[in-house]
Amino acid sequence: MANLASTYRNQGRWGEAEQLEVRVMETSKTVLGAEHPYTLTSMANLAGTYTDQKRWTEAEELLLPAVDAYQRVLGISHPDTERTVHQLHDLR
């Protein structure tokens, strides 16, 4: 599902991408937990879709907790943490 959402996002099919990304994120939270790296990646992916639509506030609301959790779970030097920090920085 995440790959299909990414395809929709790349095609500019924002509504379909968002719908799938929300579903992936919620399922991941339920099955794997709120701080599992896959869940955090799904949050960053949805934030990217929001960013592409200039929905800055919604993107930031996902990225701030994702960065905090990545730092706790994977450490500040992990590539996923660094990528998400840059994604957040690009909003500002």
Helices 14-32 + 2-10 axis angle, to 10: 160
pLDDT value for 28: 98
| pLDDT confidence band for 92 (50 / 70 / 90) | confident
Query: Residues 23-39: what's their mean pLDDT?
Result: 98
Please give the angle made by the CA atoms of 76, 82 and 85, to the nearest 5 degrees. Answer: 100
State in words which class domain 1-90 has.
mainly alpha
Each domain of the chain, given as residue ranges in start order, spans: 1-90
What are 35-60's pLDDT values in tens digits? 999 999 999 999 999 999 999 999 99
